[in-house]
Chains A and B, each alone.
Chain A
């Protein structure tokens, strides 16, 4: 898993890398340790706050449309979120899967919300603490791991 991820990261970063003097397709110093070549908020056009309200880390996002839907001009990251959330996923999970900062994911999900391409709902754990049955189920599940 981690190998695959770092491989993807390398490819993506190499693609964004500015052409070097000899236009090498890949520079040896542009590895994962070098960090992203494109600053994270480039993806959001510099916007740091979502157009809609803030979303909890564990709020669920669910796609209402398939990523192929040619409704508005979507960035690849928007489409990646749509395809990932065909089954509802939390904001944290989207950020982890797509290797994007949480703040960036919040802005992108805000765009999709505004365009009515996704719905979101809270996991509302703080409002309803889990009951004893739920906790016992977690204990049983962990023991069975």
Chain B
């Protein structure tokens, strides 16, 4: 059966936001609290960095490894859909980011003040690429160990980069993180 042309509708505009940050900082939680979440499998060539990390004894010919990242979808209207991609946290998956970053509206770098250094690579990456980003401090259990200004100093951020506090488990709090990012993107464009 051939579909009649009337069955084809113009698909919504797709906007992409990345959620980055160290391993276990709450990226999955942040994406999941705003949207239905699907794990997305991607697989890439094994880099030298995986040797010794992945047990490949006996499967030496294996040339690729499967990486699972978080993928969320927020329907904004009939015309706009927002896609959230949680980037793989481990350093060895850096090369995956380049495809994700192409055409991305911006990025949220999620930080845990107990392990602030974990988000340095993400901050560096987006600064280098010129991708607009904000830093969201995930306050576990409502715990706020540092003020946004102290986090900004510790990360040596440009003064215009917003730093917000959030609770990644809370939908209201999480959605305001993305609102803050888009407001930042708009301010950058002006």
B47 on the A face (CB < 8 A): no
Tally of A interface residues using CB under 8 Å: 48
Whether A97 contacts B38 in the complex (CB less than 8 A), given A130-B15, A145-B74, comes out as yes
Measured between alpha carbons, how far is A138 from B75 in the docked complex, in Å? Answer: 9
Q: Which residue of chain A lies nearest to B79 when distances are taken between CB atoms in the complex? A: A137
Within 8 A of A (CB), among B82-125: 82-83, 85, 99-100, 102-103, 105
Give per-residue flags for B179-190: 1 if the beta carbon is below 8 A from chain A beta carbons, else 0: 100110110010
Determine the chain B residues whose CB is within 8 A of the CB of A126 once the complex forms.
Answer: 102-103
Instruction: Report the Cα distance A59→B186, complex, angstroms.
Output: 24
Q: Which listed residue, B71, B76, B185, touches A142 by the CB 8 Å rule?
A: B76
Within 8 A of A (CB), among B30-86: 34, 36-43, 64, 66, 71, 73-74, 76-77, 79-80, 82-83, 85
A60 to B185, CA, bound (A): 25
Q: How many residues of B contact A (CB 8 A)?
A: 47
Q: Is A40 a contact of B71 with CB atoms below 8 Å?
A: no
Interface residue? B133 (CB, 8 A) = no
Which residues from chain B contact A75 at a C-beta distance below 8 Å? none
Task: Tell me if B14 is interfacial: C-beta within 8 Å of chain A.
Answer: yes
Tell whether A37 is near chain B: CB-to-CB under 8 Å: no
Decide yes or no whether B9 CB sits under 8 A from chain A.
yes
Using Cβ atoms and an 8 Å threshold, which residues of chain B touch A34? none
- Is B152 in the interface zone, CB < 8 Å from A? no
The answer to whether B83 and A137 have CB atoms under 8 Å apart is no
Closest to A141 in B: B76
A139 touches B15 (CB 8 A): no
Tell me if A123 and B7 are in contact (CB < 8 A).
Answer: no
Cβ contact within 8 Å between A96 and B1: no
Residue of B11, B175, B185 with most chain A CB atoms under a 10 A cut-off:
B11
- What 0/1 pattern do residues 38 to 81 of A give for CB contact below 8 A with B? 00100000001000000011101011111011000000000000
Give min CB distance, A28 to chain B, whole Å.
Answer: 22
Which chain B residue has the least Cβ–Cβ distance from A132?
Answer: B186
Q: Bound state CA distance, A60 and B129, in angstroms? A: 26
Q: Chain A residue with minimal CB distance to B34? A: A145
Residues B2 and A96 in contact, CB atoms below 8 Å apart: no
Q: Is A92 an interface residue (CB 8 A)?
A: yes
Q: With A142-B179, A145-B175 given, can you name 15 additional A-B contacts, CB distance below 8 Å? A: A2-B37, A62-B11, A65-B2, A87-B9, A88-B8, A95-B42, A100-B41, A101-B66, A102-B40, A125-B16, A135-B185, A137-B80, A138-B15, A141-B77, A142-B74
Residue ranges of A at the interface with B (Cβ–Cβ < 8 Å): 1-2, 5, 35, 40, 48, 56-58, 60, 62-66, 68-69, 86-90, 92-93, 95-97, 99-103, 123, 125-126, 129-130, 132, 134-139, 141-143, 145
